[in-house]
Amino acid sequence: MSQIAAVLSQLTSSRVPRARISWNLADVHFHKPDALALILYSLIRDLIPAIFLVALPFANNTEIGYSLAVPWRHRQFGPLDMTLLVSLTICWRLIGGGKPAAERNWARSQVIGNVASALCCSAIVFSLGPIQSSLIRSLQMSLGFFVASSATSLLLVEVACVANWAVISFVLARREVILVGSGPRAQILYAELMKSPMRRVVGVVDDEFVGTLEMSRWYLGGIADLDQILRDHPVQTVYCALPIKSMYSETQRAISICAQIGVEVYHAVEPFATKFAQVDLHEGAHEKLCVLSIVRADAMRYVKRTIDIIGALLLLILTAPIVAAAAILIKLNSPGPILFFQERCGLHRRRFRIFKLRTMVVNAEQLQARYESMNELDGPVFKIRQDPRITAIGGFLRRTSIDELPQLWNVIKGDMSLVGPRPLALRDFHLIDDSGHLRRFCVKPGITCLWQISGRNNTSFEDWVRLDLEYIERWSLFLDVSILLRTVPAVLSRRGAM
């Protein structure tokens, strides 16, 4: 009776407990190939031999025994030293591994590999030592190298694990996911996801629900409803755990819907066809999973984010006088606030609050229904060249795109990027009929994009979406720089501005 009461209490509670971190779960997320912590760890680990040979090379010093001194104080870094440095670096990298493997028990494998590397490298130090010193001195140097390098590498593993635990626990938000399936495999996967510090199930989809009582709390409908479910629930990831042999076509259908909308899919390793997604493998707790992702979050995404922050800060400073002058004109021209706030759809169809300089009368959104019949653009977007709601100064601000400068703050907050598809208003988002158009939401929206430099409102909505999808498929830092440079003359020419 007490167990039933506990289950009912858990199901009726609105608060979702945060999963406790464990080192096994940390391992699962740490070995992701796009993890910045992994890149930094690999770089520092491979430099350990160089650190000890270049910064603190072995030299004679009677005061502190076989201590280390800076080499260029006593002699030049000769061919033997260079040979030793190259040999140790190659040995350390080959034994320790050029890149940590994507596997469970990551920390244990790294500890074993680093200690083995330190042991082999100390043997090389001992074998080359007698060329310049005695056998006893060589033994002392090799033992010193082994102790120092192994201790440093073990400390590095510990720091990496603690840093990864801290990021997972306190920095990264838990990713909300939808689980397709409710059978035995889905039940195991559900339990794993609910324990994960990085995932949380917010929906279960299956034509015939056979899951647990806890899973029924999240049941949303059948596979036929998946398209609408993904529209209503802005999740980034779907886990597909349907029985493959008996429900192959349903699995293919679910994956096709996710790929069309631009949602990342995890499923059992099977050759499902999709023309949009890229395929990677993921080591799950019970089986290998195949990951279909529209956009790979590799290290270049961190570079893009860095450029966004630095660029937005610089532009905010440089354009501050322009924004201040525009604010004064807005206040003098019409009653109401200087800034305009509106909810838009951003990354993974999530809502965020966009900042703009006000260019219309205060009740412009309430008046829009009156002018719907005057819309001059096709598709779900709404634009009128001679919009009666626009103030006298507002028309100038819109044509020169000065009204969009406050969106640089959205970039700093992380809601937007300098370059990316333009964010749609909620009214426009809900009017999208083609699910394929939703793929434009699998990257952060931007202040400028290919559409912005290709005529803006002179292009049809189909061409607008085509340019956005082209940007997603072709993305590179070079393309971003090219769009930013071409934005300036496009804005100054006011081509397509409304």
Distances in whole angstroms, Cα of residue 363 to Cα of each of 181, 245, 351, 358: 46, 57, 21, 11
314 has pLDDT over 90: yes
Q: Which two tokens stand for residue 239?
A: 């886990």
Return the CATH number at 239: 3.40.50.720
Number of domains in the chain: 3
With beta carbons less than 8 A apart as the criterion, state whether 38 and 30 touch.
yes
Same domain flag for 34 and 134: yes
Model confidence at 28: pLDDT above 70: no
In this prediction, residue 310 has a pLDDT band, given cuts at 50, 70 and 90, of very high
What confidence category does residue 21 fall into, taking pLDDT thresholds of 50, 70 and 90? very low
Within 10 angstroms of residue 165's Cβ, the number of other Cβ atoms is 18
- C-alpha distances in Å from residue 206, one per residue of 254, 277, 308, 412: 10, 23, 40, 40
Same domain, 137 and 207: no
- With tokens 């703050």, the residue in question is 409
Report whether 470 contacts 441 (CB < 8 A). no
Say if residue 461's pLDDT is above 60: yes
Domain boundary among 103, 137, 171: 171
Instruction: Decide if pLDDT at 61 tops 90.
Output: no
Assigned domain for 17 exists:
no
Average pLDDT over residues 465-483: 87
Residues 396 and 257 in one domain: no
Does 252 map to a domain? yes
Of 240, 275, 293, the position where a domain reaches its end is 293
- Cβ-contact 360, 337 below 8 angstroms: no
Q: Are residues 325 and 446 in the same domain?
A: yes
Residue 37: its H or E element? helix 36-46
pLDDT confidence band for 5 (50 / 70 / 90): very low
**What's the rounded mean pLDDT across residues 208-215?**
89
Q: Please, are residues 266 and 168 in contact by the beta-carbon 8 Å criterion?
A: no
Which residue(s) pair with 341 in the sheet? 355
Of 65, 83, 75, residue with least CA distance to 129 = 83
CA distances from 159 to 44, 92, 125, 155, 196 (A): 12, 20, 27, 6, 21
d(CA 313, CA 412): 7
Reference 402, options 495, 323, 481; nearest CA is: 323
d(CA 26, CA 285) in angstroms, rounded, equals 12
Query: Distances in Å between the alpha carbon of 139 and those of 78, 204, 211, 389?
Result: 21, 63, 64, 85
Q: What pLDDT is recorded for position 327?
A: 92
- In whole angstroms, what is the distance from residue 408 CA to residue 322 CA? 14
pTM of the model: 0.61
pLDDT in tens, 398-417: 888 899 999 999 999 989 99
Query: For position 325, what pLDDT does the model report?
Result: 93
d(CA 432, CA 231) in angstroms, rounded, equals 10
pLDDT of residue 62: 39
Please state, in angstroms and rounded to a whole number, the distance separating the CA atoms of residues 492 and 371.
Answer: 29
Rounded to whole angstroms, how far apart are CA atoms 304 and 145? 40
DSSP string, 65-129: SS-B--GGGTS---HHHHHHHHHHHHHHHHHH-SS--S-SSHHHHHHHHHHHHHHHHHHHHHHHG
* Rounded alpha-carbon distances, angstroms, from residue 272 to 240, 258, 262, 290: 12, 12, 16, 10
**Residue 3, in any domain of the structure:** no
Instruction: Report whether pLDDT(354) > 90.
Output: yes
Buried b (16+ CB within 10 A) or exposed e, 71-89: beeeeeeeeebeebbebbb
In sequence order, what are the beta bridge partners of 180?
205, 240
Q: Is the pLDDT of residue 338 over 80?
A: yes
Give pLDDT tens digits for 213-263.
889 899 999 998 998 999 888 888 898 888 877 788 888 888 888 888 888
* Residues 341 and 399 placed together within one structural domain of the fold: yes
**Whether residue 390 sits in one domain with residue 341:** yes
* Averaged pLDDT for residues 329-337: 89
Instruction: Write out the residue range of the structural domain in which residue 108 sits.
Output: 23-171
Beta strands in 191-251 (DSSP E): 199-205, 219-221, 237-240
Could you give the C-alpha distances from 354 to 43, 212, 397, 473, in angstroms and in order?
39, 41, 17, 26
Strands, E assignment, 259-371: 264-268, 278-283, 288-293, 339-345, 351-357
CB 48 within 8 A of CB 56: no
Per-position DSSP letters for 406-442, written without gaps between them:
THHHHHHHTS-EEESPPPEEHHHHHT---GGGGGGGG
Is 172 a residue whose pLDDT tops 80? no
> Between 61 and 461, whose confidence is greater?
461
Count the helices and strands in the chain (H runs, E runs): 18, 12
- Residue where the block lists tokens 């997604």: 277
Whether 305 is covered by a domain: the verdict is yes
Residues 123-171: tens digit of each pLDDT: 877 776 655 566 777 777 778 778 888 888 888 877 777 777 676 666 6
More confident residue, 29 or 354: 354
Same-domain check for residues 245 and 350: no
pLDDT score recorded for residue 436: 79
> 């993890």: which residue's tokens?
35
223 contacts 149 by C-beta, under 8 angstroms: no
Residue 6 has a pLDDT of 43
In a domain, 13, yes or no: no
**Whether 368 and 441 share a structural domain:** yes
> Please, are residues 484 and 418 in contact by the beta-carbon 8 Å criterion?
yes
Residue 285: per-residue pLDDT: 47
Q: Do 197 and 91 fall within a single domain?
A: no
One domain, residues 30 and 105: yes
Q: Same domain, yes or no, for 274 and 353?
A: no
Q: Are residues 33 and 165 in the same domain?
A: yes
Residue-wise pLDDT for 74-101, tens only, equals 444 566 667 777 777 788 877 776 444 4
Work out the mean pLDDT of the chain and round it to a whole number.
76
Return the pLDDT at 412.
92
Whole-number pLDDT of residue 430: 86
More confident of the two residues 184 and 458: 184
The answer for residues whose C-beta is within 8 angstroms of residue 63's C-beta and 6 or more apart is: none
Phi, psi of 382 (to 5 degrees): -125, 120
| Position 14 in a domain | no
Average pLDDT over residues 439-456: 84
pLDDT of residue 329: 92
Among candidate residues 141, 171, 201, the one where a domain is terminated: 171
User: Tokens 């590799």 belong to which residue?
Assistant: 298
pLDDT at 332 over 80: yes
pLDDT digits (tens, 9 = 90+) for 262-293: 888 887 655 555 555 555 545 554 455 666 66
* Lowest mean pLDDT, pick from 127-136, 360-369, 389-398, 456-465: 127-136
**Residue found under tokens 């570079």:** 303
Query: What's phi and psi for 221, nearest 5 deg?
Result: 145, -170
Alpha-carbon span 5 to 447, nearest angstrom: 52
pLDDT band at 357 (very low <50, low <70, confident <90, very high): very high
